[in-house]
Structure 1
Amino acid sequence: MNILILGIGNLLLSDEAVGVRIVERLQQDYRFPAGVTLLDGGTAGMELMDDMANRDHIIVADAVLSGNSPGTVITLEDDEVPALFSRKISPHQLGLSDVLSALRLTGESPARLTLIGVEPLSLEPHVGLTPVVSAAVPVAMGHIINLMRQLGCQVGHKEVSHG
């Protein structure tokens, strides 16, 4: 098992940060088995190529302009994903699309690709998610956890220590 869960987004542009926040919460709340890597990709582009090369499955969490209501969580798989990125407007999506194209050229494409996207309400300069997108974070996390379990991964809650 060689799975990458990649959160991408810009923390300075409000809901654009949702992918990064989803991965942070997953790292905070869950234990993942060996062979599963969680990565905050930020606004990185081609520098993610090594992290993304030759994976069995890449799960990307990101803000996605899908035309749905703000806070809507969508799941796209494999060939549906690059098509969506090609009509996105934020700079890091171009980077991700470029990385996927480069991996195809080098024969290092992931066997499977899943995008868990959240429709943003605001992409204005502001640190922090809007309430509607913040409420979508646990929903998106649930989609990722369910997908991991379908793939046969033992994902468990971390024990919360109070003190």
Structure 2
Amino acid sequence: MGILVLGLGNLLMSDDAFGGRLIEHLQQAYVFDEGVTLLDGGTLGLDLLPRLEGIARLLLVDAVDMRAKPGTIFRLEGEEVPRAFASKLSVHQMGLKDLLAVAELHGYLPGEILLWGVQPQSIEMRLEMTAPVREALPQVVTGILEDLRRWGVGWRKAA
């Protein structure tokens, strides 16, 4: 059974790009044990369902609107994860909530789900993330690496 680290969001929408940018960073900076998949899921929603088959643990990364100060970091587990998407920041988040529901119906829902999220400042059409969200990235990377280690995953810095 594998582990999927899934970044979500639209790379063209400023802070909504957080999930994809974080996955890109992990792919460039680290090498992980076999059985760990890093995926920029973009805005695919239900199209990601086949990627959940055989996954024991799912770690999601996304910009989430929790009505907090921009750049605030959130780590949510289990039942807290779908609730984080009750306030939809972007179209893909409706798809994610549906994805988790359909995965459960098909028996694909991973046994453990974590969400690392950051409060966006802007989701306007722009390629750059805002400073508060960009500055949150290293702390989220550290948290993800710690969670993966807790799950028994080995990793090392890329050469």
Pairwise same-fold verdict (TM > 0.5): yes
Provide the C-alpha distance between the structure 2 equivalents of 1:106 and 1:51, rounded to a whole number of angstroms.
13
In the aligned structure 2, how far is the partner of 1:58 from the partner of 1:151?
A: 11
Amino acid at match of 2:16: E
Query: Which amino acid in the other structure matches residue 125 of structure 1?
Result: M
For 2:23 and 2:110, the matched residues in 1 are separated by 19
Aligned to 2:29: 29
**1:128 aligned onto 2:128:** yes
Partner of 1:145: 145
1:84 partnered with 2:68: no
| Residue ranges of structure 1 left out of the alignment (5+ in a row) | none
Distance in 2 (alpha carbons) for counterparts of 1:118 and 1:26? 17
Equivalent residue number for residue 41 of structure 1: 41
Q: Match of 1:114?
A: 114
Aligned to 1:93: 93
Deviations 1:71-120 (A, max 9, x none): 11110001100111122231000111111000111111111100000111
Please report the TM-score for the alignment, with normalisation by the length of structure 1. Answer: 0.94
Conserved 8 A contact 1:18-1:133: yes
Structure 2 match to 1:3: 3
Maintained 8 Å contact 2:65/2:87: no
CA distance, structure 1, for counterparts of residue 53 and residue 93 of structure 2: 17
Q: CA RMSD in A?
A: 1.0
Once residues 54 and 83 of structure 1 are traced to their aligned partners in structure 2, the CA distance between those partners, rounded to angstroms, is 24
Q: Is the 8 A contact 1:54 1:109 kept in 2?
A: no
SS at match of 1:62: strand
Structure 2: which amino acid aligns with 1:4?
A: L
Identity over aligned residues, as a percent? Answer: 42
Does the 8 Å CA contact 1:7/1:22 hold for their aligned counterparts?
yes
The Cα offsets for residues 105-153 of structure 1, whole Å up to 9 and x where unpaired, read as 1111111100000111111111111111111111111110010011111
Q: C-alpha deviations, 1:19-44, integer Å up to 9, x for none?
A: 10001000110111000000000111
> Once structures 1 and 2 are overlaid, which stretch shifts more, 85-94 or 12-21?
85-94
**Structure 2: unaligned runs, 5 residues or longer:** none
Secondary structure at the aligned position of 1:56 is classed as: strand
Amino acid aligned to 1:29: A
Question: Which amino acid is 1:72 matched to?
Answer: T
How many aligned positions are there? 159
